[in-house]
Structure 1
Amino acid sequence: MAWLEGSTRMSPWGYLWWSPSAAARLARAVLAPASWGYGLGVRLRNALYDSGRLRVHRVGVPVVAVGNIRVGGTGKTPFVIWLVGRLRERGKRVVIVARGVGGDRPAVLVPPRVAIPAGEDWIVAERWWESQRLPADEAILLCLRTATPVVTDPDRVRGCRRAIAAFAPDLIVLDDGFQHRRLARELDIVLLDSNDRRARMLPAGPLREPPSALARADIVVECRGAAVEPSLVRRPVGLVRGPERIEVDEPISALAGRRVFAFAGIARPESFFSALEQAGATIVGHRRFADHYRYRERDWLEIRRRAAGAQWIVTTEKDAVKLMPFASGDDRFMVLRIAADVEPGDQILERVCQLDAPRRGHHDRPAESSGE
């Protein structure tokens, strides 16, 4: 079983990248040549796209890419939920296109009450386990929280074409799309952690691209308490008894004094544990799972056994979607709901809503049309 022990404060990767300890500094020094090589490869790839030697593909509808320059969470999922929700309020037909995880097959996830055409293997997000395969956790969560179709495909150009053919959207939101330069986009929104400008490239640090890559971004949204705008603050808004729930079941204040067993399988679980502690919860036990861990029923039984002394068993929304087949019968199971506060949100929305049909520009030169 993939239990990861340790403090609630910092993940193993976080320790390697940020700890001032002698061991972490030595490890970063040993990994520095690999980071230089990785950075060189990234710069070469970007130069090939910038010069037009690598082709870029347009798909015929506006594409808004939301991404970052690092591995791990900077709030992309809460931001996409916020953005798609506001666009739908303005009457926009939106589809989300995402990569998926690892070797996942391409999939189409739809919210309830969407008619599935005959012969299509679409997945209803509320009952994803009936498909006998596990889509990416972010894709399930995005579909549940936004009531919007989500197409997952490692080939994002192909995924966009499938989304257009199936749903005829006004606009496509490309989740985690900043590095996917093969697909042209009309707007690049990059979420920037406050530490990113001083971080190292992989593997000695968390960066997938150097900070100089921000020159490609149209909007840079600062995260984690930066005192500039545009900015995003992730805020716990309450607890729900399942990720499919729309309304909050318990206010965040209900955690105060509550004995909690907490677990998470996300890139930066320390922020989750910290949110529970700041809300006044008494964490009587905790466990880390690997990022994107695929839970099985025996994992849930072990969690329940270890949480025998807890009043609530609390996890993240991304973890909860993978536990939906197992955990719904336990009254102690609670899910921490996170919302995004974006400032100035109206200005970002206006810029997105004013996008015209794709045309050639600095994001797509030279570009090929979608028909090949």
Structure 2
Amino acid sequence: MTLAERIQQHWRTPTAVSLALTPFSLVYGLVTKIRKAAYISGVLKTHRFDIPVVVVGNLTVGGTGKTPFVITLAERLKIRGWRPGIVSRGYRGKVTEAEIVPADGDPHHFGDEPVLVARKTGLPVAVARRRAQSVEKLLNESVDIVISDDGLQHYAMARSAEIVMVDGIEGLGNGFLLPAGPLREPPARLASADIRVRRGGEASEGEYSVTAALGSARNLVSGEEASLDEFRDVPLAALAGIHRPERFFDLLRQHGLTITAHPFPDHHQFCADDIPAETTVLMTEKDAVKCGRFASDRCWSVSQVTEIPEELIDKLESVIHQTGQVNLSA
């Protein structure tokens, strides 16, 4: 276990270790305040655009289901007549200048999540180290709205609306800033978000609740689709290189499946040796984009279905129509 992993074990509730790290959190908090003030005052440049930019982010380190939410949000906006494009940092990818992600793109180059989004939506997806460059790239793709997968703290990119996601189980952890806790910004930052979303658990007042469930399975070689019910009473291996992989395993068990769990770190770069031999293997869609080149016909990806209430889409369109750009000083 790495030092970072040991520290993260103390992020759920205040402990002696997290309290000992609070002086470093105070320094981190001061730096983030100065940085944000520099954007508000114009010392650092904020790039503005002629089309709406919607940021889907979170206050905590780690996954809160942003990417599945972004996929569903983009699909729903398309149904309502919008022409969405998506931007991403391309975590652990190799892209520097802005590039459009093809549906068959290499996840090692573009990052696993942008490739997944491109494949699932069929919409333009742009990746760059600087998100503002990605937005500029999408302007050449005839989009009329941009969704940023993460980037809440990327104040160089102006936004028309902010959607902040909170994990229904972990919440905001112990409430401390990095490194004593999981927070990138103070809890009070939630108040300035246009839309607050709770993924799982019970939504608080002013929040929208979204749920995540497993869909069908798809064979990585043949493309055949099958219901998860067809895998009951069959010994299975399940692998997941995501934040909190046990959630994927729990959902499979709730479907009545008998699995042997194989957890990996988030964004793990899979190789053929990671795939369990001589058994049927179920994996997340995010992991499947990295396993396709060496997968056998024993490998299946399991889709995740995110349900977004219509009221949330209505609220988002209202914010877009009423405001130009979010006031960073709010």
Partner of 1:219 in structure 2? Answer: 195
RMSD: 2.8
Is the alpha carbon distance of 1:244 and 1:333 closer, same or farther for their aligned partners in structure 2, counting shifts above 3 Å? closer
SS of equivalent residue, structure 1 residue 262: strand
Partner of 1:124 in structure 2? Answer: 102
1:294 aligns with 2:265: no
Amino acid across the alignment from 1:291 = D
Partner of 2:144 in structure 1? Answer: 170
1:346 aligns with 2:324: no
Instruction: State how far apart, in whole Å, the 2-side matches of 1:193 and 1:163 are.
Output: 30
Q: Offset at 1:52?
A: 4.4
Is the alpha carbon distance of 1:222 and 1:133 closer, same or farther for their aligned partners in structure 2, counting shifts above 3 Å? closer
Instruction: State how far apart, in whole Å, the 2-side matches of 1:244 and 1:52 are.
Output: 54
Is the alpha carbon distance of 1:13 and 1:257 closer, same or farther for their aligned partners in structure 2, counting shifts above 3 Å? farther
Instruction: State how far apart, in whole Å, the 1-side matches of 2:20 and 2:185 are.
Output: 20
SS of equivalent residue, structure 1 residue 124: coil
Partner of 1:80 in structure 2? Answer: 70
Paired residues for 1:138-287 under 5 Å: 138-164=113-139, 166-194=140-168, 195-199=170-174, 200-228=176-204, 229-242=207-220, 249-284=225-260, 286-287=261-262
TM-score (normalised: structure 1): 0.77
Instruction: State how far apart, in whole Å, the 2-side matches of 1:215 and 1:273 are.
Output: 34
Instruction: State how far apart, in whole Å, the 2-side matches of 1:19 and 1:264 are.
Output: 26
SS of equivalent residue, structure 2 residue 225: coil
Instruction: State how far apart, in whole Å, the 1-side matches of 2:254 and 2:231 are.
Output: 9
User: Which segments of structure 1 move beyond 6 Å, counting only runs of 4 or more?
Assistant: none
Q: Offset at 1:356?
A: 4.2
Q: Offset at 1:156?
A: 1.0
Partner of 2:300 in structure 1? Answer: 334
Deviations 1:202-248 (A, max 9, x none): 22322211211112210001122124441111111221223996xx8
Deviations 1:140-178 (A, max 9, x none): 0111111101000111111111110x2121111111021
Matched-pair contact (CA < 8 Å) for 2:98–2:129: no
Amino acid across the alignment from 1:347 = E
Paired residues for 1:39-54 under 5 Å: 39-54=29-44
SS of equivalent residue, structure 1 residue 66: strand
1:27 aligns with 2:27: no
1:18 aligns with 2:12: yes
The total of aligned residue pairs comes to 321
Is the alpha carbon distance of 1:136 and 1:358 closer, same or farther for their aligned partners in structure 2, counting shifts above 3 Å? farther
Instruction: State how far apart, in whole Å, the 2-side matches of 1:218 and 1:244 are.
Output: 43
Is the alpha carbon distance of 1:361 and 1:334 closer, same or farther for their aligned partners in structure 2, counting shifts above 3 Å? closer
Amino acid across the alignment from 2:299 = F
Identity level (%) = 35
Amino acid across the alignment from 2:306 = A
SS of equivalent residue, structure 1 residue 325: coil
Matched-pair contact (CA < 8 Å) for 1:108–1:149: no
Q: Offset at 1:198?
A: 4.6
**Unaligned 5+ runs, structure 2:** none
Deviations 1:249-276 (A, max 9, x none): 2223334333111222222212112212
Matched-pair contact (CA < 8 Å) for 1:144–1:243: no
Instruction: State how far apart, in whole Å, the 1-side matches of 2:286 and 2:229 are.
Output: 22
Matched-pair contact (CA < 8 Å) for 2:11–2:182: yes
Q: Offset at 1:34?
A: 2.4
Matched-pair contact (CA < 8 Å) for 2:214–2:305: yes
Amino acid across the alignment from 1:72 = G
Amino acid across the alignment from 2:9 = Y
Is the alpha carbon distance of 1:341 and 1:37 closer, same or farther for their aligned partners in structure 2, counting shifts above 3 Å? same
Instruction: State how far apart, in whole Å, the 1-side matches of 2:141 and 2:240 are.
Output: 34
